[in-house]
Amino acid sequence: TYYIRATGASAGKADFYLVQNVGALMEEEHQNGLAHVLEHMAFHATEHFPEGVPAFLKRRGIQDLNAYTGADETVYHIDGVPTTDGGLVDSCLLILHDWSSAINLADKEIDKERGVIREEWRSRNSGMLRIMTDAQATMYPDSKYADCMPIGSIDVINNFPYQDIRDYYAKWYRPDLQGIVIVGDINACLLYTS
């Protein structure tokens, strides 16, 4: 599904999103945290961007890209893309394509990201987060939301077999669960002819 909206918010620029209708709730117990790991892996090599998406975009002057994983969704975005550069607009569409179905999941890159996520988990593991985590069982009784923290389980992050994340990606990253959103100074008619 494509959502393209021309707005006057930022003259000459648009924001590009891949909205994946899959988050931490879809994980099985042995996959606790894989949605978040996969989100991180999208910034490593992809089929068309073997040096990684951030390296390509930074060379083109774009610094604002990110992603997040929630319980119900994973969202990737590239902000402030100059729309007067048709080649760059096409490249951003290709990045969304690669995020949707062509992330390289190399063993050594997965292992690098395990360390990054361990540090993210350690830095976020505050008293407030522990209280919130404990309160979820009361707030969402008899629901998968009761124990759903998108950052996942450190035990799973440290030990999941490489094939588990590849299987998760193949199962959940598919067109019927994805939306492309482009908002800004964009001519939708030109996108359909690209």
- Known catalytic residues are 39
Residues 118 and 158 sit within 8 Å (Cβ to Cβ): yes
Between CA 190 and CA 89, with CA 20 as vertex, the angle to 5 degrees is: 25
The three-state DSSP-derived secondary structure of 37-106 is HHHHHCCCCECCCCCCHHHHHHHCCCCCEEEEECCCCEEEEEEEEECCCHHHHHHHHHHHHHHHHCECCC
Q: How far apart are CA 65 and CA 56, in angstroms?
A: 12
Cα–Cα distance measured from residue 35 to residue 32, given in angstroms and rounded to the nearest whole number: 8
Residue 56 near residue 45, CB atoms below 8 Å: no
Strand partners, 3: 181
In angstroms, the CA 164 to CA 33 distance is 11
